[in-house]
Structure 1
């Protein structure tokens, strides 16, 4: 993750000395996430995730297109990330940095290449038409934990999204409006989520969910992405100091525990949003009946 945070030598020393004394600047235990919230827009697939001060907006959309020649029975799924200098001075609008390339590849491996979304279910007519599902990720504010926040927001958005019904009639694709036929949920085969640890003290100390300042003084990072069954989508230590093997095993155990907690959290938030929508619909129908 970017290490361009503007820290003085005194700040770096203070943060590291505190960690050696088993203390984080925000008072969290080493294995605890910052406060996490999810909110939903009126459109299905519009999700805002806040992890501490890090904020990400995801919009899921779909359009009918032609399948790729080599995958005639599959639909298309893409993830597009927007990083700009409003989110962090480490980014430069309009110019892709090495970090942005690496970050996009990590998201692609965790979500798209893990086949979390069943692309065969997006096929409308073999070789001629399919759905192109797109996840647009906008980084609003960055204070560490970017991969974890984006993964959580994208997967929540995919679960929240509803795909219109579509059929082929006389060679033409007909897409039904929500009023004509109720849209359906996407077919997700798994829910991979990312857990990031940063490394300190020559691989002896690990922090879960680091802030930007903690990332800036770290000696490397470990990214573990898996679903609640323990199936691994990504296990990566891209750079930095070698890590202690026993601590790596401990991180894997903690990661699985946290992914299961996050999966339950996402389910609860989706259920609460569904109840809110049903209540709003019921109120609107009652008002319409009274007006008649």
Structure 2
């Protein structure tokens, strides 16, 4: 389970912290992360969170023919899905070494330890049995995937109910939940997986490693232990450990940790069963959402002090924003607006563009009128100047008779294509010479 890429600098940093008896998340060496078990509204749906490692489990069943070698036993199939949603190094539709390890380890652990009574899944010997399928969907990967997956699979199997069946000769009747209550799975014991990361050849050992700690470890030991202190599975990865007493010491520690985890699992199952028996509304996976805690990278705003502490702050920008008023300094103003208790936002007000031109995005009506008057006056001035530059002896302007409005005397109208103007061209301006 070393598919998580870890750089050499990260490995050195983790190792230096381990040598100083420190972990990145502040835990002690033999301290487990926070475990949360939430059940869905349907039977057999469960979500387990172990720190930031989250696994969603769903159990389903169907009727199939049994194996020829075990004609009176039901079938159990475990499938693990690792997608890019869990971690970027995983690919959709491709079996990785991690997914193969989880499938094989849990399958051998559950079947060889006989924690599930497969004979109770038999309907008709050699003909029809229940095929129970456990789908594990990894939502987020942050180390100790086997430990989180084992708890999720056990919780989903213990929570699952399959329909009741009545066999009358060659006919089999599958009853709905309204007709007969579904039958729970028969689980004899709960083997949970405990993971250890080994550093410096066994000198430092940490429990429940994260993904970066797994990448920097020299070896990894995975034990499957139940509440009866029985070892149900063992997996070694990395450098070999030469001291046998070292493994025995780890198994004793793992047995104590497994007893605590199994008690939490049974308490969660008992609480869910009590809610359903009382007829209360099951919240489902909505309890997985924690609104009281927000991660550092998920905050949409930062908590600031009072508005008076930030009134002296100013800001500069090279882009044009919306105009929100004028400032005597002609620059950028910053307004502190209170959003909530202990929370404030800085609102920037840009009055003028750095080029010196006033912002035209939010021009007021008075500005529009003044600018329109200026353009009219400028156009009239240019018209007058261009008219005066031409020889006045060649053109005589006669105002149209249908013109109702009188124009100022100083305005001069040039000839053109307008229908409202009548132009008379005089070719001889000196009648005396005739």
State the TM-score, normalizing by the size of structure 2: 0.62
Task: Check whether the contact 1:54–1:142 (CA below 8 A) recurs between aligned residues.
Answer: yes
Task: Check whether the contact 2:74–2:119 (CA below 8 A) recurs between aligned residues.
Answer: yes
SS at match of 1:34: coil
Task: Check whether the contact 1:91–1:97 (CA below 8 A) recurs between aligned residues.
Answer: yes
Aligned residue in 1 for 2:238: 239
Aligned residue in 2 for 1:135: 134
Task: Check whether the contact 2:77–2:132 (CA below 8 A) recurs between aligned residues.
Answer: yes
Aligned residue in 1 for 2:194: 195
Q: Give the CA deviation at 1:244.
A: 4.3
Q: CA-to-partner distance for each residue in 1:177-210, whole Å, 9 max, x for gaps?
A: 1111111211112211110101101122111100
Q: 1:225, 1:52 → 2: CA distance?
A: 20
Task: Check whether the contact 1:72–1:127 (CA below 8 A) recurs between aligned residues.
Answer: yes
2:4 corresponds to 1:4:
yes
Q: 1:49, 1:213 → 2: CA distance?
A: 21
Q: 1:282, 1:234 → 2: CA distance?
A: 38
Q: 1:8, 1:189 → 2: CA distance?
A: 44
Task: Check whether the contact 1:225–1:232 (CA below 8 A) recurs between aligned residues.
Answer: yes
The CA RMSD measured in Å over matched residues stands at 1.7
Task: Check whether the contact 2:122–2:129 (CA below 8 A) recurs between aligned residues.
Answer: yes
Stretch moving more, 97-106 or 218-227? 97-106
Aligned residue in 2 for 1:26: 25
Q: Give the CA deviation at 1:112.
A: 2.7
SS at match of 2:202: coil
> CA 1:3–1:205 in 2, change beyond 3 Å: closer, same or farther?
farther
Aligned residue in 1 for 2:205: 206
Aligned residue in 1 for 2:265: 266
SS at match of 1:25: coil
Task: Check whether the contact 1:203–1:243 (CA below 8 A) recurs between aligned residues.
Answer: no
Aligned residue in 2 for 1:96: 95
Q: 2:97, 2:281 → 1: CA distance?
A: 50
Task: Check whether the contact 1:199–1:243 (CA below 8 A) recurs between aligned residues.
Answer: no
Aligned residue in 2 for 1:157: 156
SS at match of 1:116: coil
Task: Check whether the contact 2:79–2:134 (CA below 8 A) recurs between aligned residues.
Answer: yes
Q: 2:79, 2:7 → 1: CA distance?
A: 34
Q: Give the CA deviation at 1:243.
A: 5.7
> CA 1:181–1:281 in 2, change beyond 3 Å: closer, same or farther?
farther
Aligned residue in 1 for 2:367: none
State the TM-score, normalizing by the size of structure 1: 0.92
SS at match of 1:87: coil
How do 1:270-285 and structure 2 match up within 5 A?
270-281=269-280
Q: 1:282, 1:212 → 2: CA distance?
A: 37
Count of aligned positions: 282
> CA 1:8–1:70 in 2, change beyond 3 Å: closer, same or farther?
closer
2:85 corresponds to 1:112:
no
Q: Give the CA deviation at 1:62.
A: 1.2
Q: 1:176, 1:109 → 2: CA distance?
A: 32
> Hey, which of these two has a bigger chunk of helix by percent?
1
> CA 1:45–1:136 in 2, change beyond 3 Å: closer, same or farther?
same
Q: 1:151, 1:105 → 2: CA distance?
A: 12
> CA 1:281–1:21 in 2, change beyond 3 Å: closer, same or farther?
closer
Q: Give the CA deviation at 1:57.
A: 0.5
